[in-house]
Amino acid sequence: MANVTILAPHIDDESIGMGGSIAKHIDLGNAVRVIFFDSGRDGIEMKERESEAENVMAFLGIKDAQFLRGAIPYLHRSIPETIVGLLRQYSTDFLYAPHLNDGDSEHVTISELAHRLLWMANGNYFPDQEGKCNIKSLFLYEIHRPINEVHYLEDISSYEKRKKTAISMYKSQTGRVKYHKSAISLNRYRGISSEFSQCAEAFQIFGARNLIEIIGPAQLLTPGAPPANAHRSYQNRKKS
Ligand SMILES: [Zn+2]
């Protein structure tokens, strides 16, 4: 069983960016946890959005969530230490965050923080903390703006409906923008245009310590073969 931790700048980013992969991880028995940064501007909005998040967590089967309730531009210096502590406590194997060219300044801030967290959590920083960390890789998901160079596709064809439902549960947000439609349309484009699947989520991979650990040796040795006992498969593009 792998431990997956997702950094979500806002409540709904996790489902828009990677709701299908979340559902897939959980079906495979992996523990998924989310760290939410910003819950909203005031008490009423925070309550509404956190309650929506709790419903989505129960729907998808997310194990745990932390609401840091901090305005992202004013992230306090103590935040990285707090999150490193959580990543170590969770024995995080895979860390997810938005990608660096997302376009939304707050998403980019959390992406930059994720790169620093990977380095700090795996290193000898904050030695007083309990537990240790061996994050195998940082996966960057797409929310606001598509990824320019895709490193990895996750086939979510069987999880499309569950992802759409999860996003639709954020009624406070989908009332303004039809994220449940835009995200799924992007996922279909990703899958179909790459001839990979009917629906896929795209990621960039950073800081992979050992790629074989992530994708499984069978996949590297037998190009095109489905990975043995691995849920992750690299895109096997046809030469065009
Ligand atoms: Zn967001």
Q: How far is the CA of 235 from the centre of ligand 1 (A)?
A: 27
Nearest to 236, CA basis, from 194, 203, 198? 194
137: in domain = yes
Q: How far is the CA of 223 from the centre of ligand 1 (A)?
A: 36
**C-beta of residue 154 within 8 angstroms of C-beta of residue 203:** yes
pLDDT for 200: 97
Q: How far is the CA of 174 from the centre of ligand 1 (A)?
A: 13
205: in domain = yes
228: in domain = no
Task: Show the domain range for 193.
Answer: 3-221
229: in domain = no
pLDDT for 130: 84
Q: How far is the CA of 162 from the centre of ligand 1 (A)?
A: 20
User: What residues flank ion ligand 1 with Cβ within 5 A?
Assistant: 9-10, 13
Give Cα 60 to chain centroid, integer Å.
Answer: 14
**pLDDT tens for the chain, residues 1 to 240:** 899 999 999 999 999 999 999 999 999 999 999 999 999 989 999 999 999 999 999 999 999 999 999 877 777 778 899 999 999 999 999 999 999 999 999 999 999 999 999 989 998 888 888 877 889 899 999 999 999 999 999 999 999 999 999 999 999 999 999 999 999 999 999 999 999 999 999 999 998 766 666 666 555 554 444 443 333 443 333 333
79: helix, coil or strand?
helix
pLDDT for 226: 43
Q: Which residues contact 180 (CB under 8 A, 6 or more apart)?
A: 164, 167, 168, 174
54: in domain = yes
Nearest to 38, CA basis, from 14, 16, 15, 70? 70
Q: How far is the CA of 186 from the centre of ligand 1 (A)?
A: 16
133: in domain = yes
Work out the end-to-end distance of the chain between its first and last CA atoms, rounded to an integer number of angstroms: 37
Q: How far is the CA of 54 from the centre of ligand 1 (A)?
A: 17
Domain count, the chain: 1
Q: How far is the CA of 89 from the centre of ligand 1 (A)?
A: 26
Indicate which CATH number applies to the domain containing 97: 3.40.50.10320
104: in domain = yes
235: in domain = no
Q: Tell me the pTM.
A: 0.81
Q: How far is the CA of 217 from the centre of ligand 1 (A)?
A: 36
